[in-house]
């Protein structure tokens, strides 16, 4: 039986210009989507949907449209993300047993372009919904005092499914497949495990990520946490936008006195530009059927992050009405676009099969869509990169991947994965423990 929801949105005062929504990151089971101090933070749970397999996106879309259509929504704002909203995380693979999910919080605090609000949602037909009830419900959650975690001498970084040598061999095998003409690109991922001597403070990790990586999208959904630089699709009032990344350069090994180094090594590299072009072509080809017009950079730009540089391109498209007269929702576009060449390879069907063979692991939600959507069809869905899955309070599994093309070097690709692990390792205060990669496979 479908749950009937009631939601009320209440405008509130401005947030701190210094930390914005970060002041609301107090719970270890927090729902969050934050960039430059703005976004959405969720508390509690009013409704949940889970699904797996090839129809996971379509099933979630059907559930959400019915839920939103039946809901009583009182929203005086015309701001994307206000009113009834859900956070979501979807498995990378249609064959994964991972349960993709949409979660409607009890309380959402949102902030966008100077407008800040609280949305309270309930399934109780008798519950009071008022500005006072929304503030009171939020205050109960904010009573939680986040506990700072100090480094523990028992903290360790352990190998994941494959050892470093085994993963480099997988890269070499991938290059052999590319040279044989089987495919032009494959994205290979690997995992490592943070084994902690004392319980994790997920709220602390999120605050660290959101502060250090303000231009990225810091996310938290049901134990999946991270800060992604890649926007799969963003939909606002009939316009779709995406940010495509492919081509990476580690800042830790860059010369200090060469300001042209990232431009020369990325934009000036045939290998990096080839990898990037595959990714941008993949996205625009799948997005085009839903649009009336589309624009993108004629030349990629170099995106500077604290840990790496990326070749990046932004795409914008005006969405065209479908057969029913309505424009596609953000989740409908997610289904059409995922997986992109940036996280799978090209052709994606060939790359997907080879990934399963070479990685020897289930990615779960890693490199899958993560983000939010509202009842108006707006939404922001990033790709779950630079992140980790909290398996229990003392065990965190980190993931990182690299685009493999002709000419890729296994040792260089392994080094690139460590640069991509760095945001999570630093947020966990484990970067100092890199040399402690010991033990057997997890």
Q: What is the 3-state secondary structure (H, E, C) of the chain?
A: CCCCCEEEEEEECCCCCCCHHHHHCCCCCCEEEEECCEEEEEECCCEEEEECCCCHHHHHHHHHHHHHHHCEEECCCCCCCCCCEEEEECCCCCCCCCCEEEEECCEEEEEECCEEEEEEEECCCCCCCCHHHHHHHHHHHHCCCCCCCCCCCCCEEEECCCCHHHHHHHHHHHHHHHHCCCCCEEEEEEEEEEECCCCCCHHHHHHHHHHHCCCCEEEEECCEEEEECCEEEEEECCEEEEEEEEEEEECCCCCCCCCCHHHHHHHCCHHHHHHHHHHHHHHHHHHHHHEEEEEECCCCEEEECCCEEEEEEEEEEEECCCCCCCCCCHHHHHHHHCCCCCCCEECHHHHHHHHHHHHCCCCCCCCCEEEEEECCCCEEEEECCCEEEEEECCEEEEEEEEEECCCCCHHHHHHHHHHHHHHHHHHCCCHHHHHHECCCCC
Q: Mark whether 185 is an active-site residue.
A: yes
Instruction: Give the chain's length.
Output: 442
Q: Are 429 and 438 spatial neighbours (Cβ–Cβ below 8 Å)?
A: no
How many Å apart are CA 294 and CA 314, to the nearest integer?
Answer: 11
Out of 38, 106, 185, 416, the active site residue is 185
Q: How deeply is 184 buried, as exposed, middle or buried, from its count of CB atoms within 10 A (0-12, 13-18, 19+)?
A: middle
Out of 106, 208, 230, 275, the active site residue is 230
Q: Mark whether 208 is an active-site residue.
A: no
322: Cα separation from own chain's centroid: 27
How many Å apart are CA 320 and CA 155, to the nearest integer?
Answer: 52
How many Å apart are CA 241 and CA 380, to the nearest integer?
Answer: 9
- Residues tagged active-site: 185, 230
């Amino acid at each position: 039986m479908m749950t009937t929801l009631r939601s009320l949105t209440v405008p509130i005062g401005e947030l701190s210009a210094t930390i914005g929504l970060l002041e609301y990151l107090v719970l270890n089971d927090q729902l969050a989507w934050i960039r430059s101090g703005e976004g959405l933070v969720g508390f509690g749970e009013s409704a949940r949907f889970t699904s797996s397999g090839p129809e996971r996106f379509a099933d979630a879309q059907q559930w959400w449209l019915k839920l939103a259509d039946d809901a009583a929504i009182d929203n005086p704002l015309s701001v994307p993300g206000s009113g009834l909203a859900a956070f979501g995380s979807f498995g990378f693979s249609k064959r994964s047993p991972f349960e993709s999910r949409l979660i409607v919080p009890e309380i959402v605090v949102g902030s966008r372009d100077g407008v800040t609000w609280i949305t309270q949602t309930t399934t109780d037909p008798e519950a009071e919904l008022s500005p006072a009830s929304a503030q009171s419900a939020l205050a109960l959650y904010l009573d939680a005092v986040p506990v700072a975690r100090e480094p523990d001498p028992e903290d360790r970084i352990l190998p994941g499914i494959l050892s470093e040598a085994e993963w480099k061999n997988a890269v070499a095998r991938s290059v052999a497949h590319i040279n044989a003409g089987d495919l032009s690109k494959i994205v290979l991922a690997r995992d490592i495990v943070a084994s902690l001597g004392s319980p994790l403070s997920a709220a602390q990790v999120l605050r660290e990520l959101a502060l250090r990586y303000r231009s990225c999208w810091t996310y938290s959904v049901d134990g999946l946490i991270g800060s992604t630089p890649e926007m799969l699709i963003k939909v606002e009032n009939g316009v779709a936008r995406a940010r495509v990344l492919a081509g990476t350069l580690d800042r830790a090994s860059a010369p200090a006195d060469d300001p042209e180094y990232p431009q020369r090594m990325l934009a000036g590299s045939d290998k990096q530009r080839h990898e990037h072009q595959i990714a941008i072509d993949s996205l625009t080809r799948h997005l085009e059927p839903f649009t009336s017009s589309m624009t993108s950079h004629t030349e990629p730009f170099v995106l500077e992050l604290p840990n790496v540089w990326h070749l990046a391109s932004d795409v914008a498209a005006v969405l065209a009405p479908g057969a029913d007269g309505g424009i596609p929702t953000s989740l409908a576009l997610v289904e059409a676009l995922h997986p992109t060449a940036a996280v799978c390879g090209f052709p994606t069907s060939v790359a997907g099969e080879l990934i399963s063979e070479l990685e020897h692991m289930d990615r779960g939600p890693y490199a899958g869509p993560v983000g939010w959507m509202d009842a108006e069809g707006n939404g922001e869905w990033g790709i779950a990169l630079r992140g980790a899955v909290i398996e229990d309070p003392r065990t965190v599994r980190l993931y990182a991947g690299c685009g493999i093309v002709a000419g890729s070097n296994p040792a260089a690709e392994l080094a690139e994965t460590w640069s991509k692990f760095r945001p999570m390792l630093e947020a966990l205060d484990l970067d100092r423990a890199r040399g402690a990669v010991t033990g057997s496979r997890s």
